[in-house]
């Protein structure tokens, strides 16, 4: 072949290769995903970093600079000034205290429950399997309301709680502050540990434990030498998940810490954001992101895994329950008491308080339906009618339902698509890039994440003078975008778990038969991932229905949701109305989950990556 022909052949081959890459729908989807993730995740993060180094107009005189110029003023004020202890050090220590203690107790409770449910002959498992995940469906700030109803004191709360009405003197340190916060958050976040550890235990072949028993090892030795090392990656993953969420929580801190001036990084961030100290708030958010990143890095080194929420994969063999023997009755009784006091009683207290006209009066004459269906009374609830006659409640209910269903559908679809990219691109550069990009929102505290999107989308997004995205402040679109992006890590994790279970030979056979990419995806991939799709939908639905921290900075009267309305009622000294809203919200979540479980075989453990 002549050199000229060889060059033409190489040129044509290169042209065909480029054409094959460009015309491949999968490559197009990957490109679109990377561009969107960069725009919605990386750019907001860079904008937050840039803002923390940009001098605001109101601080120009104090800092001695020009508005909009580069400055270290906010970082120096935060890290090396007379205000450092008050603004950063004390809130940081409080956040670490909450994060460490909640992680310890939540993992302990969740892991023990997971072992009892999966590996033992515990009776009443159908009941316990439902009861154990109910705390996940109840917002943590709802538990705070129940805690106050039980332990509130006249000295701080203004009206007595249930125990004080019975003549029991409750110390202030139990009603408010770190003990109350740690207890409430531990009873909330143990569900995460349970879901992750139970998924890991289900994947372990019980023959490993049986072999140890044959060799003469006792139950304690088997747990310590065999079971514990196998589920350690899942437990460490649960620690990081719980720690990250605990240090970033705001609702519980506001309910149980504000009256005793117990301030954490998240509450300090909220106060700075509401005071228009955006640069300082973003600097604090970056510190929280660094803490979360360090914890994830340590987790990766300890378990040798790429993701903080990765669990043991694969299917286990047969599982033989471990006999609890003479301790079965005692353990069952303890579990019943735990669920009665940890789940049933808080809900019962919220229901009871919602029927009380005046706080602290538990007599029958004080019971009323006013906060549910009452007409306006000037001295009650600031003159507003009961929630079912209240336009604010109806508006918030519609917004919440619309937000949860829209985000549930779109978030799950995007999660499945990204999961498909991660599964098919495993070990390849594009798969790693997408996987890392989608993980970033997990590191950003919810309240800071909402603040970033508020800052970015409160002004038009322009490119070369052309407006690409108008200002979204106060719109439903901003709530939707923020919620979908924030929940992408778990939605994509559920999608990846789904796609890894679908054999590649099915798509290959369809391709040989002449089916195009989109036809293969719609006719093969999507139907086979239906169970995971429903589980992913439920995770997003439950998370967004009870979400407060993420959207609290984005709220306007027009876009108010049920959690924000309950928050407003609580802050305006109408806890009964707040209880009513919380009960309605929990009822919706439980009903939707029950329907999804009956008709769609929903499994929240799949959504968590189990």
578 and 541 in one domain?
A: yes
- Lookup result for tokens 């705390």: 135
Look at phi and psi of residue 300 and say left if phi exceeds 0, alpha if psi is from -120 to 50, else beta: alpha
Residues 275, 278, 280, 285, CA torsion sign: positive
CA-closest candidate to residue 33, choices 485, 522, 421: 421
Does residue 114 fall inside a structural domain? yes
For the segment 157-173, the average pLDDT, to the nearest whole number, is 84
pLDDT higher than threshold 90 for residue 465:
no
Q: Is residue 504 included in any domain, yes or no?
A: yes
Q: What is the mean pLDDT of residues 172-188?
A: 93
pLDDT digits (tens, 9 = 90+) for 120-145: 888 988 888 888 888 888 888 888 98
Classify residue 377: in a domain, yes or no.
no
Q: pLDDT tens for residues 20-70?
A: 666 677 788 888 889 999 999 898 888 889 989 999 888 888 777 888 888
What does the pLDDT read at residue 316?
44
Q: What is the mean pLDDT of residues 82-100?
A: 93
Mark whether 211 and 349 lie in a shared domain: yes
Instruction: Indicate if 83 and 219 belong to the same structural domain.
Output: yes
The residue with tokens 């009861």 is 131
Q: What pairs with residue 356 in β-bridges? A: 367
28-50 per-residue burial string, b: 16 or more CB within 10 A, e: under 16: ebbeebbeebeebbeebbebbee
- pLDDT of 591 over the 60 cut: yes
548: nearest Cα among 262, 291, 236, 188: 188
- Neighbour tally for 67: CB within 10 Å: 14
397 vs 598, higher pLDDT: 397
pLDDT band at 435 (very low <50, low <70, confident <90, very high): confident
Over range 254-267, report the average pLDDT: 91
Centroid of chain to Cα 74 = 29
Cα–Cα distance between 566 and 47 in angstroms, integer? 32
Same domain for 474 and 504, yes or no, is yes
d(CA 605, CA 493): 11
In this prediction, residue 308 has a pLDDT band, given cuts at 50, 70 and 90, of very low
Determine, yes or no, domain membership for 14.
no
| CB neighbour list of residue 213: distance below 8 Å, 6 or more residues apart | 222
Tens-place pLDDT, residues 359-384: 888 888 999 999 999 998 888 888 89
Domain identity same for 41 and 159: no
Question: Do 333 and 421 fall into the same domain?
Answer: no
Residue 373 lies inside a defined structural domain of this protein: no
- pLDDT in the model for residue 157: 62
Query: Is residue 543 very low, low, confident or very high in pLDDT (cuts 50, 70, 90)?
Result: confident
When mean pLDDT is compared over 102-116, 311-325, 376-390, 492-506, the highest value belongs to 102-116
Q: pTM for this structure?
A: 0.84
| Closest C-alpha among 174, 181, 99, 184 to residue 135 | 184
Select the more confidently predicted residue: 449 or 530. 449
Closest residue by Cα to residue 410 from 470, 489, 519, 483? 483
Q: d(Cα 41, Cα 39) in Å, to the nearest integer?
A: 6
Q: Are residues 149 and 237 in the same domain?
A: yes
Residue 453 lies in a domain: yes
The CATH number that applies at residue 394 is 1.10.3720.10
**Distances 242 to 147, 443, 605 between C-alpha atoms, Å:** 21, 12, 15
Q: How far apart are CA 250 and CA 98, in angstroms?
A: 12
Q: Lowest-pLDDT range, 140-144, 238-242, 294-298, 566-570?
A: 294-298
Taking 50 as the threshold, does the pLDDT of residue 209 lie above it? yes
pLDDT at 553: 87
Same domain (yes/no): 268, 296: yes
Q: Are 289 and 297 in contact (CB under 8 A)?
A: no
**454/570 same-domain check:** yes
Number of domains observed in the structure of the chain = 2
Percent of the chain with pLDDT over 90: 25
Cα separation, 426 vs 507, whole angstroms: 17
Compute the half-sphere exposure of residue 414: CA atoms within 13 Å on the CB side of its CA: 25
- 432 and 461: one domain? yes
**pLDDT more than 70, % of the chain:** 85
Say yes or no to pLDDT of 395 above 90. yes
The dihedrals phi and psi of 360, each to the nearest 5 degrees, come to: 85, -10
One domain for residues 397 and 309: no
Whether 306 has a pLDDT exceeding 50, the answer reads no
**What is the overall mean pLDDT for the chain?**
82
* Predicted pLDDT of residue 529: 67
Same domain, yes or no: 86 and 129 = yes
Distances in Å between the alpha carbon of 445 and those of 43, 249, 451, 476? Answer: 17, 8, 10, 21
Task: Point out the least confidently predicted range of 74-83, 269-278, 495-504.
Answer: 495-504
* pLDDT recorded at residue 106: 94
Is 374 domain-assigned?
A: no
Domain that holds residue 576: 25-51+386-610
CA-based nearest residue to 552, from 241, 250, 143, 144: 250
pLDDT given at position 571: 84
How far is the C-alpha of 392 from the C-alpha of 400, rounded, in Å?
12
pLDDT confidence of residue 211: 73
Q: Is 6 within the bounds of a domain?
A: no
Are 284 and 268 in contact, with CB atoms under 8 Å apart? yes
């Amino acid at each position: 072949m002549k050199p000229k022909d060889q060059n033409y052949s190489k040129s044509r081959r290169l042209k065909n290769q480029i054409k094959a890459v460009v015309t491949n729908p999968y490559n197009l989807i990957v490109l679109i995903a990377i561009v969107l993730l960069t725009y919605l995740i990386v750019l907001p993060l860079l904008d937050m970093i840039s803002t923390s180094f940009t001098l605001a107009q109101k601080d120009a005189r104090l800092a001695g600079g020009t508005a909009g110029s580069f400055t270290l003023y906010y970082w120096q004020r935060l890290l090396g000034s007379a205000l450092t202890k008050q603004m950063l050090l004390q809130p940081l220590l409080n956040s670490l205290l909450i994060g460490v203690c909640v992680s310890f107790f939540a993992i302990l409770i969740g892991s023990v429950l997971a072992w009892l449910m999966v590996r033992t002959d515990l009776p009443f498992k159908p009941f316990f399997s439902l009861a154990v995940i109910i705390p996940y469906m109840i917002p943590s700030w709802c538990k705070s309301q129940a805690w106050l109803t039980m332990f509130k004191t006249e000295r701080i709360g203004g009206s007595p709680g249930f125990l004080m009405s019975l003549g029991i003197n409750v110390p202030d340190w139990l009603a408010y502050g770190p003990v109350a916060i740690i207890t409430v958050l531990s009873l909330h976040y143990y569900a995460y540990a349970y879901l992750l550890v139970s998924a890991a235990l289900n994947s372990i072949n019980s023959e490993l434990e049986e072999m140890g028993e044959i060799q003469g090892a006792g139950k304690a030795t088997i747990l310590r030498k065999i079971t514990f090392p196998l589920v350690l990656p899942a437990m460490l993953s649960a620690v990081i998940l719980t720690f990250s969420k605990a240090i970033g929580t705001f609702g519980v801190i506001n309910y149980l810490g504000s009256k005793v001036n117990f301030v954490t990084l998240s509450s300090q961030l909220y106060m700075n954001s509401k005071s228009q100290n955006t640069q300082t708030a973003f600097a604090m958010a970056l510190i929280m992101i660094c803490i979360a990143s360090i914890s994830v890095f340590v987790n990766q080194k300890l378990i040798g895994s790429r993701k903080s929420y990765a669990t043991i994969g694969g299917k286990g063999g047969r599982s033989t329950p471990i006999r609890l023997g003479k301790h079965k009755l005692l353990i069952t009784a303890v579990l019943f008491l735990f669920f009665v006091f940890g789940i049933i009683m808080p809900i019962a207290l919220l229901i009871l308080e919602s029927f009380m006209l005046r706080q602290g009066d538990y007599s029958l004459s004080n019971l009323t339906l006013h906060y549910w269906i009452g007409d306006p009374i000037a001295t009650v609830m600031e003159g507003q009618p009961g929630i079912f006659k209240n336009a604010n409640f109806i508006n918030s209910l519609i917004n919440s339902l619309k937000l949860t269903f829209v985000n549930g559908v779109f978030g799950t679809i995007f999660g499945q698509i990204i999961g498909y990219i991660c599964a098919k691109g495993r070990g390849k550069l594009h798969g790693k890039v997408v996987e890392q990009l989608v993980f970033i929102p997990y590191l950003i505290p919810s309240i800071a994440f909402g603040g970033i999107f508020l800052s970015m989308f409160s002004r038009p997004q322009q490119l070369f003078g052309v407006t690409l995205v108008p200002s979204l402040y106060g719109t439903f679109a901003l709530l939707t975008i923020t919620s979908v992006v924030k929940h992408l890590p778990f939605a994509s994790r559920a999608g990846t778990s789904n796609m890894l279970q679908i054999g590649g030979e099915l798509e290959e056979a369809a391709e040989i038969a002449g089916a195009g990419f989109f036809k293969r995806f719609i006719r093969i991939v999507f139907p086979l991932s239906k169970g995971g799709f429903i589980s992913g939908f439920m995770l997003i639905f439950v998370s967004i229905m009870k979400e407060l921290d993420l959207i609290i900075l984005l709220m306007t009267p027009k876009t108010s949701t049920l959690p924000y309305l309950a928050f407003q009622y609580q802050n305006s000294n109408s806890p009964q109305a707040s209880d009513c809203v919380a009960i309605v919200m929990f009822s919706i979540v439980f009903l939707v989950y029950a329907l999804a479980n009956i008709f769609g075989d929903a499994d929240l453990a799949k959504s968590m990556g189990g």
